[in-house]
Amino acid sequence: MKTASVAETKSHLSSLIADVEAGNDVLITRRGQAVARLVAEPGAGGYGWAALRAWIEAEPTNGPTVAQMREDDLL
């Protein structure tokens, strides 16, 4: 776990957030005492677009699609 003082945190917050996004926790200290901890939000690792596309394509349609309705001049 990385440790940073409050002053370091103020001047390097973007870098510390990048460390957290990479999976590392950051302990923030004031005068050597731990006062806060930066941890990644659960599930904040990005969205799996490929998984979403696969799920959408696997779902059956319940009726005509918008594209089909446009072709048939229903929209």
2, 9, 38, 59, 74 from 29: Cα distances, Å:
11, 9, 11, 50, 64
Q: What's the structural domain count of the chain?
A: 1
pLDDT of residue 45: 62
Quote the tokens at residue 51.
């998984």
* Domain residue limits at 38: 2-71
pLDDT of residue 32: 95
pLDDT of residue 64: 84
Encode pLDDT of 16-75 as tens digits.
999 998 889 999 999 999 999 999 988 766 677 888 889 888 887 788 888 888 999 876
Task: Give the CATH number for residue 30.
Answer: 3.40.1620.10
As a whole number of angstroms, the longest Cα–Cα distance in the chain is 72
pLDDT of residue 42: 82
